[in-house]
């Protein structure tokens, strides 16, 4: 994951240039589609691959790269849109709204969805006596479904603004 995160940060840097050039409307959906592509690939490719199957890890790397690039690029597009619509004298107030919408709400809703999806996941005993669950690829399917709802809502909103 670490190399994918570093590369995704570089992708986001260049994607930010595209946001500046073409604007939110033309860049946010491609970012969300990158994120969706990452979820699909990570759902379809098994995450637990034996160490000897290094060639099989490439799709997991690509899926992680797409997922992180889409997420970070989407957040960059949303952040730029918020910045563009923030009155100068109210920047602090609107940053609070950004934190609320991009951190607090997903931080509450996401774990609830994850807990529901993984409710029957097997558990393992750790060496320190604690227990951990083994997540399944279903978490990526759930994320894809939530993102599809967001993309549909966003597309409807963008279409309404055109008319």
So what's the pLDDT on residue 118?
87
Are the CB atoms for 32 and 154 separated by under 8 Å? yes
Helix 2-22 crosses helix 54-84 at what angle (to 10 degrees)?
Answer: 40
Residue 123: phi and psi, rounded to 5, are: -115, 155
What is the domain partition of the chain in residue ranges? 2-162
* Average pLDDT taken over every residue of the chain: 86
70-89 average pLDDT score? 87
100-110 average pLDDT score? 85
So what's the pLDDT on residue 53?
63
Which band of pLDDT confidence, cut at 50, 70 and 90, is reported for residue 156?
A: very high
So what's the pLDDT on residue 134?
80
Q: 2-162 in CATH: which number?
A: 1.20.1250.20
Which band of pLDDT confidence, cut at 50, 70 and 90, is reported for residue 96?
A: confident
Given a cut of 90, is residue 22 above it in pLDDT?
A: yes
Are the CB atoms for 43 and 140 separated by under 8 Å? yes
Length of the chain counted residue by residue: 163
131-151 residue pLDDT tens? 888 878 899 999 999 999 999
Furthest C-alpha separation in the chain: 60
106-130 average pLDDT score? 89
Given a cut of 80, is residue 163 above it in pLDDT?
A: no
Given a cut of 60, is residue 152 above it in pLDDT?
A: yes
So what's the pLDDT on residue 30?
93
């Amino acid at each position: 994951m670490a190399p994918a995160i570093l590369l995704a940060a570089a992708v986001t840097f260049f994607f930010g240039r595209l946001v500046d050039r073409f604007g939110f409307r033309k860049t946010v959906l491609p970012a969300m589609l990158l994120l969706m592509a990452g979820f699909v690939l990570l759902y379809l490719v098994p995450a637990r691959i034996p160490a000897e199957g290094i060639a099989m890890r490439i799709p997991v790397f690509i899926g992680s790269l797409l997922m992180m690039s889409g997420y970070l690029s989407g957040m960059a597009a949303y952040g730029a849109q918020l910045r563009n619509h923030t009155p100068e004298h109210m920047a602090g107030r609107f940053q609070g709204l950004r934190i609320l919408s991009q951190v607090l709400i997903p931080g509450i809703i996401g774990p609830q969805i994850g807990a529901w999806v993984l409710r029957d996941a097997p558990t393992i005993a750790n060496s320190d006596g604690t227990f951990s669950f083994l997540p399944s690829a279903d978490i990526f399917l759930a994320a894809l479904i939530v993102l599809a709802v967001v993309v549909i809502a966003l597309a409807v909103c963008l279409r309404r603004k055109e008319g």
